[in-house]
Amino acid sequence: MKNLERENLKPMSDKNKILFKTKKLYVMKSQLPEAGLGLYTYFQIKKGESLGGYKGKLLTLEECKQEKYLPLWGHMLDLSNIEKIYPYVAIHPSKNMVLRYINHAPDTVDGKKVKGKWAVNVFFSEIEEFPYIEIVAKRDIDANSEIFLNYGPGFSNLFLKNQKLRNFYLSKM
């Protein structure tokens, strides 16, 4: 699989509204209401292409509870199902890791399947070496599209409690 994230995150001017970029990906305001920033691609990404590893510091359960890791808790990934990395249970993303800007998208809203450019277009895939998780295109993604990932049913439940997000998705169906 081709890895799209090869360069460090580079800050950009507010003039372009692109806040950070790598060679193939960039960060700017998300199209989702109240979602903050989002990750976009400069070029088309083919189904099966890797966007890169979800890099960061491996943490034990005790470390996850430390105050210094709380600011990015929403970006931490649970790795407790990967037995070979015990006693680590999570990965805390690097602050300059562009993949942490991927926003969540639900699979369904009120029983209706989310389709089109607002649907999930990438997924987590386990890999053999550090960082143990990479993000892979679930389908072809057009250039200048926002990247969306489903972080799980618990996250979808919280996400859709935001009425603006729920209404946004319902208006796109």
Residue 2 lies in a domain: no
Using 50, 70 and 90 to split pLDDT, how confident is the model at 5?
very low
Residue-range definition of the domain harbouring residue 79? 56-93
Residue 67 lies in a domain: yes
88 and 136 share one domain:
no
Nearest to 60 by CA among 91, 82, 95: 91
Residue 130 lies in a domain: yes
155 and 102 share one domain:
yes
89 and 14 share one domain:
no
Token digits of residue 144: 């200048």
63 and 143 share one domain:
no
Residue 120 lies in a domain: yes
Above 80 in pLDDT, residue 10? no
Residue 37 lies in a domain: yes
48 and 60 share one domain:
no
- What pLDDT digit, counting tens, does each position of 131-141 carry? 899 999 999 99
Above 60 in pLDDT, residue 15? no
Q: Is 61 helix (H, G, I), strand (E, B) or coil?
A: helix
89 and 108 share one domain:
no
Please tell me the pTM assigned to this model.
0.83
Query: Residue 113 has what pLDDT?
Result: 92
103 and 124 share one domain:
yes
* CATH classification of the domain holding 145: 2.170.270.10
Query: Residue 152 has what pLDDT?
Result: 84
Structural domain total, the chain: 2
